[in-house]
Amino acid sequence: MALKIIFMGTPEFSVPILKSLYESNHSILSVYTQSPKKKDRGQKINFTPVYEFSKKNNIELRYPEKLDTEEEISFIKKSNPDVIIVVAYGKIIPAKILDIHNIRFINIHASLLPKWRGAAPIQRSIMNLDNETGISIMKIIPKLDAGPVMMTSRIKISKETNYKKLSQELSKLGAKLILQSLNLIENGKEKFIDQNENEVTYAKKIDKRESKINWKEHAEKVIAKINALYPKPGTWFIHNGMRLKILKAIEIEETGEPGQIIKPNFTVACAKNAVQLLEIQKEGKKIMKASEYLKGNKLLIGSNVN
């Protein structure tokens, strides 16, 4: 028997999962997403990726500023869904909604819970030099990402893995896993296992202040941060009074004072080893190869970047 679903999601990460549900035998009653935002001093309205997909496929859309209103509670009750699926929605589901009877509330979380509960699990797993991460299908309870887990699947993280690539891979994995989970629910075979509270770690939201490179860290950690924050917000440093964003870099076995330019190919020393910049971006400009930047900007070997 097909299940009736309300979907709640916002960013690009949510779209492949929504698409897999849309193309399945299940019925999507409506989609909730974040409300459109004005950009560039109100000149343009930005709609979320989930909004765009839903609009294109004629799925009923809702984007209330608040969920805990009588209007939204009444709408959900009247819709009578079997399952509400939440994927990076960006809003906490209030207790008044979680208390509605006969609805299963399922979250698709991009980590192997209880590790990396919170807002930025993909970025934190890369920055922490984790060897693997994954998808967890869990029951939503009032405490953040703390509900019992129904299903998990793992994926490897390499030193070359960046946020964009890993996010795409995890989203595809989540799209497969949610269908398997719904099949279990349909057949009454779902089983939820409580998380081990002694193993909990938190993935706090990325603060833009974290994006400035600290050359006193090991090169391995600097590369991990570059990868974790690619493409947004991106990592940066100052060279010749100019702010440069790093898009791609590699670790080099060289030594020098942290922050010191030690090679003409734009290699900068760290606390251990060094980082060679491969792709950079000036503020407001296009991404360029470091070699292109160097054609018009001389490096003084032995000088420091900030």
Tell me the DSSP string of 191-256.
Answer: --B---GGG--B-PPPPGGGGB--TTS-HHHHHHHHHHTTTTT-EEEEETTEEEEEEEEEEE----
∠214-217-223 over CA atoms, to 5°?
80
User: CB of 256 within 8 A of CB of 276?
Assistant: no
Token couple for 250: 């590699």
The whole-number pLDDT of residue 207 equals: 94
Token couple for 202: 């938190």
The residues of the chain scoring below 70 in pLDDT are 40-43
User: CB of 97 within 8 A of CB of 73?
Assistant: yes
* DSSP tag of 56: H
The whole-number pLDDT of residue 148 equals: 98
Taking residue 20's Cβ as centre, other Cβ atoms within 10 Å add up to 18
The whole-number pLDDT of residue 1 equals: 72
Environment class of residue 167 by beta-carbon count within 10 Å: exposed (0-12), middle (13-18) or buried (19+)? Answer: middle
User: CB of 135 within 8 A of CB of 115?
Assistant: no
The whole-number pLDDT of residue 42 equals: 59
| pLDDT tens digits for range 27-54 | 999 999 999 987 766 568 899 999 999 9
Taking residue 140's Cβ as centre, other Cβ atoms within 10 Å add up to 21
CA–CA dist 298, 283 (Å, integer): 18
Tokens 């792709």 — which residue? 279
Domain with CATH 3.10.25.10 in the chain: 208-296
The whole-number pLDDT of residue 109 equals: 98
Instruction: Tell me phi and psi for residue 265, to 5 degrees.
Output: -90, 20
Taking residue 9's Cβ as centre, other Cβ atoms within 10 Å add up to 27
CATH numeric code, 4-199? 3.40.50.170
Tokens 């890993």 — which residue? 166
- Integer-rounded Cα Rg, in Å, for the chain is 22
The whole-number pLDDT of residue 21 equals: 98
Query: Which of these, 235, 181, 183, lies nearest to 207 by C-alpha position?
Result: 235
* DSSP tag of 268: E
**Neighbouring residues of 83: CB distance < 8 A, sequence distance ≥ 6:** 3, 4, 5, 6, 103, 104, 105, 106, 182, 185
Element (H, E) at 73: helix 70-79
Rounded to the nearest 10 degrees, how much is the dihedral formed by the CA atoms of 196, 115, 110, 145? 50
Beta bridge partners of 184: none
CA–CA dist 85, 148 (Å, integer): 15
Domain with CATH 3.40.50.170 in the chain: 4-199
The letter for the amino acid at 216 is K
The whole-number pLDDT of residue 40 equals: 62
CA pseudo-torsion sign 283, 289, 294, 295: negative
Q: What is the DSSP string of 78-125?
A: HH--SEEEEES-SSPPPHHHHT-TT-EEEEEESS-TTTTBSS-HHHHH
| pLDDT tens digits for range 175-228 | 999 999 999 999 999 999 999 999 999 999 999 899 999 999 999 999 999 999
CATH level 2 (architecture), domain 208-296: Roll (3.10)
Element (H, E) at 74: helix 70-79
